[in-house]
């Protein structure tokens, strides 16, 4: 019932030549009968080129969606350097990541702002990928479930549905560290999160944090894991597609 979503978050990586080559390789290699949805989220500078590349390379029955990594809550205005959800939609993006822990930590984003950004995504017709996850200190203090619950409650807007929202559980200590959460921990957390969601049976919950071709199969096999949000391994088409293949 919940179709698997394999999403690549390129973060602040790739210049135009490498980025378009990566997008072309992902689009060309996405398999004859895709059993999952594929999404790539390049940096804003490459959205136009990546959308163009994917449009030219992907076959109609093997679409690859393109999303932004962040958006501003307002539709327009005096916000130097920011990008409105409407601008992403205007380019042809279908998704936007909001509340990534790197933005929560590096830009001081709090739940209320993340919620406003998710609302902006919905207003613009985009699917919001709302990220939550505890730090190592919070985990060590036994607060992982409480922290995730607080972030879900604070970051998910009123109008969130299974169609316009995806939740990504990304424990901060597992991001870029090579230290993925154990399948038991992920299973428990995803079950906990599902119990807090609107349209809980249908809303997709992705796991993120050091997902690689070698550990993807056991994580994606878990009942409440509906896909992955992948950082480092999404920068190599081979690895990204190998992860997607484990979802088959």
Can 190 be counted among the known catalytic residues? no
Smallest separation (angstroms) from ligand 13P to the CB of 229 = 4
Q: Which of 210, 225, 237, 240 binds ligand 13P (CB under 6 A)?
A: 210
For ligand 13P, the closer of residues 58 and 131 by Cβ is 131
Catalytic residue among 72, 95, 100, 122: 100
Q: Is 68 a residue that touches ligand 13P (CB under 6 A)?
A: no
Q: Is 230 a residue that touches ligand 13P (CB under 6 A)?
A: yes
Contacting range for ligand 13P; rule: CB under 6 A; set: 18-26, 70-78, 214-222, 225-233: 225-233
Interatomic CA distance for residues 88 and 119, integer angstroms: 14
Binding residues for ligand 13P, rule CB under 6 A, total 14
Contact 148, 246 (CB under 8 A): no
Catalytic residue among 102, 113, 119, 170: 170
For ligand 13P, the closer of residues 72 and 100 by Cβ is 100
Q: Which of residues 150-189 bind ligand 13P (CB under 6 A)?
A: 170, 175-176
For ligand 13P, the closer of residues 89 and 219 by Cβ is 219
Q: Is 232 a residue that touches ligand 13P (CB under 6 A)?
A: yes
Query: 3-state SS of the chain?
Result: CCCEEEEEECCCCCCHHHHHHHHHHHHHCCCCCCCEEEEEECCHHHHHHHHHHHHHHCCCCCCEEEEECCCECCCCCCCCCCCEHHHHHHHCCCEEEECCHHHHHHCCCCHHHHHHHHHHHHHCCCEEEEEECCCHHHHHCCCHHHHHHHHHHHHCCCCCCCCCEEEEECCHHHCCCCCCCCHHHHHHHHHHHHCCCCCCCCCEEEEECCCCHHHHHHHHCCCCCCEEEECHHHHCHHHHHHHHHHCC
Q: Is 37 a residue that touches ligand 13P (CB under 6 A)?
A: no
Q: Is 208 a residue that touches ligand 13P (CB under 6 A)?
A: yes
Can 138 be counted among the known catalytic residues? no
Print the binding letters for residues 120-139 with ligand 13P: x by CB under 6 A, - otherwise: --------------------
CA nearest to 130, candidates 109, 149, 151? 151
Contact set with ligand 13P (CB under 6 A) = 9, 100, 170, 175-176, 208-211, 229-233
Q: Which residues are catalytic?
A: 100, 170
């Amino acid at each position: 019932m919940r179709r698997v979503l394999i999403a690549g978050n390129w973060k602040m990586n790739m210049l135009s030549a490498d980025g378009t080559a990566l997008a072309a390789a992902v689009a060309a290699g996405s398999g004859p009968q895709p059993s999952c949805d594929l999404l790539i989220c390049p940096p804003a500078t490459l959205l136009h080129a990546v959308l163009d590349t994917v449009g030219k390379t992907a076959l109609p029955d093997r679409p690859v969606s393109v999303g932004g990594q962040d958006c501003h809550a307002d539709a327009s205005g005096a916000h130097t350097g920011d990008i409105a959800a409407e601008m992403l939609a205007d380019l042809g993006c279908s998704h936007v990541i909001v509340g990534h822990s790197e933005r929560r930590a590096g830009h001081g984003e709090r739940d209320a702002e993340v919620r406003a950004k998710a609302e902006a995504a919905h207003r613009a017709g985009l699917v919001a990928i709302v990220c939550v996850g505890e730090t190592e200190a919070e985990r060590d203090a036994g607060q992982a479930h409480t922290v995730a619950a607080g972030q879900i409650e604070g970051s998910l807007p009123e109008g969130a549905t299974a169609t316009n929202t995806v939740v990504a559980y990304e424990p901060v200590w597992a991001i870029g560290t090579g230290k993925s959460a154990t399948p038991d921990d992920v299973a428990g957390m995803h079950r906990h999160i599902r119990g807090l969601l609107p349209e809980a049976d249908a809303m997709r919950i992705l796991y993120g944090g050091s997902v690689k071709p070698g550990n993807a199969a056991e994580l994606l096999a878990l009942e409440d894991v509906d896909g992955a949000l992948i950082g480092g391994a999404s920068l190599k088409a081979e690895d990204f597609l190998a992860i997607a293949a484990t979802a088959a």
